[in-house]
Structure 1
Amino acid sequence: MRPGAKIMFSIAAFLGIVALVYIFSTMWVQDDAFLYGLEYTGSIAILLAFLLAMMLGGYLQFTGNRIDTLPEDWEEAEVEDKAGVLGFFSPGSIWPFAMSLAVGVLGLGLVFMYFWMIALGAIMLIWASTMLSLQYGMPKEKH
């Protein structure tokens, strides 16, 4: 079993114990004279965290059994054995800033429920994300 799967299953085991303790303590321990019983919000949150950890552990276990030995598992591995393609990073682009402005306009529109501002922010966000995706696919004079 890979270390990632072991860590996720350990977290899941911890969350399972915490969920049991939390559920039984909220069901049987009364903090006042009138209100007691299962506390649904916390119980569901801890159970969902347990299920998420189990799901991730299962995925890591499933994929770990099907891949070859990774460079970090070799004793004689060098740093460059793990290095892959780093990709291309834009040295200077205005579009991430434009996207953040569009998200700001959209957020303000949602906060104050100005439908015209929501529409403007959505249009700005679609335009900025499209231009970010296409900035190196167009000739330099077009952007």
Structure 2
Amino acid sequence: MGTGSKVFYAIGTFLLLMGVFYILATAWVGDDAYLFGIEWVGSVGLVLATGLSFMMAVYLDFTERRMDVVPEDWEEAEIEDGAGVLGFFSPHSIWPLAMAGAVFFLGLGIAFWQLWLVAIGAVLLVWTTTQLNMQYSIPREKH
């Protein structure tokens, strides 16, 4: 079990304990404003956060079992052991900024419940995401 999965298992366990404590504490107070004496917003939030944390922990656990020992988990590793290509990152792409603008319009539409703005934001988000994914598949002269 790698470091990442241990961290998320610990976070999930903490959230589980806090969720149980929160549900019992709000049920004990028993105010009439709550259904069955439980404060539902915080309870649901803690239960969902616990579930998401355990989902991430299981994913990282499965992923880390298939990998070799990474320098982060090796006690005698040197800084040079982690050197190398970490991935390809597009140096001058405009599409992440365009995607942020599309998410902005989508968020404004949801916040003010303007369905025409939600539709424009959704179409722009699909278009910009497609352009981001296809920017190295389309020849340079077609841009």
Q: TM-score range by the shorter chain?
A: 0.5 to 0.7
Q: CA deviation at 1:21?
A: 2.0
Q: Which runs of structure 2 are paired with 1:35-54 in the superposition (5 Å)?
A: 35=33, 37-54=37-54
Q: Secondary structure at the match of 1:14?
A: helix
Q: What is the TM-score normalised by the length of structure 1?
A: 0.66
Where is the helix percentage greater, Structure 1 or Structure 2?
2
TM-score, normalisation: structure 2: 0.66
Cα distance, 1:23 vs structure 2: 1.7
RMSD of aligned alpha carbons: 3.3
Tell me the percent identity.
51
User: 2:105–2:120: 8 Å Cα contact kept in structure 1?
Assistant: yes
TM-aligned CA deviation for residue 142 of structure 1: 1.9
Q: Which residue of 2 aligns with 1:131?
A: 131
For structure 2, the 5+ residue unaligned runs are none
The answer to whether 1:96 aligns with 2:102 is no
How many residues get paired? 140
Corresponding residue for residue 16 of structure 2: 16
Structure 1 gaps of 5+ residues are none
SS for the counterpart of 1:24 is: helix
CA distance in 1: counterparts of 2:115 and 2:23, whole angstroms:
43
Alpha-carbon spacing, 1:28–1:129, altered in 2? closer, same or farther (3 Å): closer
Listed one character per residue, the Cα deviations across residues 58-106 of structure 1 (whole Å, up to 9, x for unaligned) are: 4444544554332223344233323343333333233334334444444
Which residues of 2 match residues 1-143 of structure 1 at below 5 A?
A: 1-30=1-30, 34-35=32-33, 37-110=37-110, 111=112, 113=114, 115=116, 117-143=117-143
